[in-house]
Structure 1
Amino acid sequence: MRYIKDLPHPQVKISLYSWNSKYIVKIEAGPYEQTYKIGEFDVTGPDDVESMISESFMASVLARFGEMDRDWSGAMSNDE
Structure 2
Amino acid sequence: MRIIGYIEHPELKITIFKMDTRISVKFEKGYLEQTFKFRQANGLEGAKEIRQLVDAKFLGQVEDQFSQMEALHEAAITTHFPPEPADEFDDII
The answer to whether TM tops 0.5 is yes
Cα distance in structure 1, aligned partners of 2:47 and 2:11: 21
Cα distance in structure 1, aligned partners of 2:80 and 2:4: 43
Q: CA deviation at 1:20?
A: 3.1
Q: Is residue 2:79 matched to residue 1:78?
A: yes
Aligned pairs, how many? 80
TM-score (normalised: structure 1): 0.92
Match of 1:41, SS state, is coil
Coordinate RMSD, CA, aligned: 1.4
Q: Is residue 2:36 matched to residue 1:39?
A: no
Cα distance in structure 1, aligned partners of 2:46 and 2:66: 27
Pairing 1:55-66 to 2, within 5 Å after superposition = 55-66=56-67
Q: CA deviation at 1:47?
A: 0.5
What letter matches 1:75 in structure 2?
A: A
Higher helix share: 1
1:24-79 Cα distance to aligned partner (Å, 9 max, x none): 00000000000001111231432111100110111110011010000010000114
Higher strand share: 1
- The structure having more radius of gyration, on CA atoms, is 2
TM-score (normalised: structure 2): 0.80
- Contact conserved, 2:21 with 2:40, CA < 8 A, in 1? yes
